[in-house]
Amino acid sequence: MRIAYQGEPGAFSEAAARKVDGEAQLVPCRSFEEVFDSVDAGPSAYGVVPIENSIGGSIHRNYDLLLAHELTIVGEVELPVVHHLLALPGATLEGLKRVYSHPQGLAQCERFLHTLRGVEVIATYDTAGSAKMVADSGSTDAAAIASARAGDVFGLKALASGIQDFSDNITRFLVIGRRPLRNAVADKTTIVFTVPNEPGALFKALSVFALRGVDLTKLESRPIPGRPWEYLFYADLAAARDNLTCSRALSHLAEFAPMLRTLGSYPSWKPAVAGALPDPFEVVS
């Protein structure tokens, strides 16, 4: 099985992909778009993309890509994220002039970065990719914020470890594909919908879940391209799509929502599942 992820070997997305199937062939991609395209076109059976971080917030680009592609969310993975400041042997904190990382990595280590005086902070496409850039540069005045594995892969040493702002730094990843994963029964559903531009429209939309006791674990808004000041609403529901109560709530919402689409109904991430790793998830054939 092939699983696509964004970044270089050593990226946190690679670690998340290994939690889906430790024996899978992992396919590194330059961008999130390439991950979706790899699954869409068929070379990869699944893709793993980050959707939110407990410190840095949502990764908006992946919300947009979920809508742009006809792929289904089939699972999720939560990954504790520990950041390290990596540099070539011989480098020192005092000698640093540049620090590279993905914007999310930089946002998650903001407090530490403020302690580095006279250092330029540069955003790049990937945490592990930043480690590769530092290694390839041969410069001891540059460093990258990335994982410990990225340091091992690219021969870098840690000048500082655990530099994220908060110890409970967790990234949630979505698993996308065309076939379901059979590791557990679905108990979570992600939808996207629009509402009429009238007073109380969003309240009315959310009330279909509140009145039936369906818990919304996340609500995210994104602008609709070409329609200024109109929005798409993404919602995570703590119930399976075919659960009777959830199904009735969605049917009610469909009665007045101009657009409603289910992006996936899948098993939520649970500590019990995490404890079972690295056994691979079963895949429906």
Q: Tens of pLDDT along 33-48?
A: 999 999 999 899 999 9
Query: In terms of DSSP bridges, do strands 142-146 and 84-87 run parallel, antiparallel, or are they unpaired?
Result: antiparallel
Catalytic residue among 171, 189, 190, 194: 171
Domains of the chain: 2-80+169-181 (3.40.190.10), 84-161 (3.40.190.10), 188-266 (3.30.70.260)
- Report the distance separating Cα 172 and Cα 177, nearest Å: 17
Backbone angles phi, psi at 248, to 5 degrees: -65, -40
Query: In terms of DSSP bridges, do strands 2-6 and 46-53 run parallel, antiparallel, or are they unpaired?
Result: parallel
DSSP string, 211-224: TTT--EEEEEEEEP
Catalytic residue check, 245: no
pLDDT of 36-90, one tens digit each?
A: 999 999 899 999 999 999 988 999 999 999 999 999 999 999 999 999 999 999 9
Question: What residues contact residue 185 under an 8 Å CB cut-off, 6+ apart?
Answer: 240, 267
How much is the mean pLDDT over the chain?
A: 92
The model carries a pTM of 0.89
Catalytic residue among 173, 193, 209, 281: 173
Minimal CA–CA distance to 60: which of 269, 242, 221? 221
